[in-house]
Structure 1
Amino acid sequence: MEQRVMGRLGRQVGVVGLGAWQLGADWGEVSEADALDTLHAAVDAGVTFIDTADVYGDGRSEKIIRRLIEERPGLTVATKMGRRVPQTPEAYTLGNFRAWTDRSRANLGVDRLDLVQLHCPPTSVFSDDEVFDALDTLVAEGRIAAYGVSVETCAEALTAIARPGVASVQIILNAFRLKPLDEVLPAAEKAGVGIIARVPLASGLLSGRYGPQTVFEEDDHRNFNRRGESFDVGETFSGVEYGVGLQAVDSLRALVPDGMTMAQFALRWILDQPGVSVVIPGARNPEQARANVAADCFPALPEAVHAAVRAVYDELIRPQVHHRW
Structure 2
Amino acid sequence: MQQRPLGRTGRDVSAIGLGTWQLGADWGAVSEEDATAVLAASADQGVTLFDTADVYGDGRSESIIGHFLAGRPDHGITVATKMGRRLAQEPENYSPENFRAWTDRSRRNLGVETLDLVQLHCPPSAVIEADETYDALDALVADGTIAAYGVSVETTAQALAAIARPNVTNVQIIFNPFRLKPLDEVLPAASAAGVAIFARVPLASGLLSGKYTASTTFAENDHRTYNRQGEAFDRGETFSGVDFSIGVDAANELAAALPDGVALPAATLAWIASQRGVTSVIPGARNVRQAVSNADAAALLDGGFDVDAFDRVVREVYDRDLREAIHPQW
TM-score by length of 2: 0.97
Q: Name the residue aligned to 1:29.
A: 29
Q: Which amino acid aligns with 1:324?
A: Q
How far apart, in 2, do the equivalents of 1:302 and 1:271 lie?
Answer: 10
2:13 counterpart SS class? strand
Task: Using the TM superposition, give the Cα deviation of residue 258 of structure 1 relative to its aligned residue in structure 2, in angstroms.
Answer: 1.9
Q: Which amino acid aligns with 2:52?
A: T
Task: Using the TM superposition, give the Cα deviation of residue 9 of structure 1 relative to its aligned residue in structure 2, in angstroms.
Answer: 2.5
Q: Name the residue aligned to 1:310.
A: 315
Task: Using the TM superposition, give the Cα deviation of residue 10 of structure 1 relative to its aligned residue in structure 2, in angstroms.
Answer: 2.4
Task: Using the TM superposition, give the Cα deviation of residue 315 of structure 1 relative to its aligned residue in structure 2, in angstroms.
Answer: 0.5
1:142 counterpart SS class? coil
2:22 counterpart SS class? coil
Q: Name the residue aligned to 2:228.
A: 226
Q: Which amino acid aligns with 1:303?
A: D
Task: Using the TM superposition, give the Cα deviation of residue 304 of structure 1 relative to its aligned residue in structure 2, in angstroms.
Answer: 2.8
Structure 2: segments with no counterpart, 5+ residues: none
Instruction: Answer yes or no: is the 8 Å Cα contact 1:138–1:144 preserved in 2.
Output: yes
Of 5-14 and 169-178, deviating more is 5-14
Q: Name the residue aligned to 2:119.
A: 117
Instruction: Answer yes or no: is the 8 Å Cα contact 1:82–1:119 preserved in 2.
Output: yes
Taking structure 1 as reference, are residues 66 and 302 closer, same or farther at Cα in structure 2, changes over 3 Å only?
A: closer
1:251 counterpart SS class? helix
Q: Name the residue aligned to 1:167.
A: 169
1:1-325 alignment to 2 at 5 Å?
Answer: 1-72=1-72, 73-298=75-300, 299=303, 301-325=306-330
How far apart, in 1, do the equivalents of 2:278 and 2:154 lie?
Answer: 17
Q: Percent identity?
A: 62
Q: Alpha carbon RMSD of aligned pairs, Å?
A: 0.8
- 1:5-27 Cα shifts (integer Å, max 9, x gaps): 11122211111110000000000
Task: Using the TM superposition, give the Cα deviation of residue 284 of structure 1 relative to its aligned residue in structure 2, in angstroms.
Answer: 0.2
How far apart, in 2, do the equivalents of 1:226 and 1:2 lie?
Answer: 34
Instruction: Answer yes or no: is the 8 Å Cα contact 1:272–1:301 preserved in 2.
Output: no
Task: Using the TM superposition, give the Cα deviation of residue 260 of structure 1 relative to its aligned residue in structure 2, in angstroms.
Answer: 1.6
How far apart, in 2, do the equivalents of 1:163 and 1:220 lie?
Answer: 35
Task: Using the TM superposition, give the Cα deviation of residue 162 of structure 1 relative to its aligned residue in structure 2, in angstroms.
Answer: 0.3
Task: Using the TM superposition, give the Cα deviation of residue 280 of structure 1 relative to its aligned residue in structure 2, in angstroms.
Answer: 0.4
TM-score by length of 1: 0.99
Instruction: Answer yes or no: is the 8 Å Cα contact 1:119–1:151 preserved in 2.
Output: yes
Structure 1: segments with no counterpart, 5+ residues: none
Instruction: Answer yes or no: is the 8 Å Cα contact 2:4–2:15 preserved in 1.
Output: yes
How far apart, in 2, do the equivalents of 1:279 and 1:8 lie?
Answer: 18
How far apart, in 2, do the equivalents of 1:125 and 1:186 lie?
Answer: 23
How far apart, in 2, do the equivalents of 1:21 and 1:296 lie?
Answer: 21
1:143 counterpart SS class? coil
Q: Which amino acid aligns with 2:238?
A: T
How far apart, in 1, do the equivalents of 2:309 and 2:88 lie?
Answer: 46
Instruction: Answer yes or no: is the 8 Å Cα contact 1:269–1:301 preserved in 2.
Output: no
How far apart, in 1, do the equivalents of 2:284 and 2:260 lie?
Answer: 24
How far apart, in 2, do the equivalents of 1:290 and 1:75 lie?
Answer: 17
Number of aligned positions between the proteins: 325
Q: Which amino acid aligns with 2:180?
A: L
Task: Using the TM superposition, give the Cα deviation of residue 302 of structure 1 relative to its aligned residue in structure 2, in angstroms.
Answer: 3.6
How far apart, in 2, do the equivalents of 1:254 and 1:208 lie?
Answer: 10
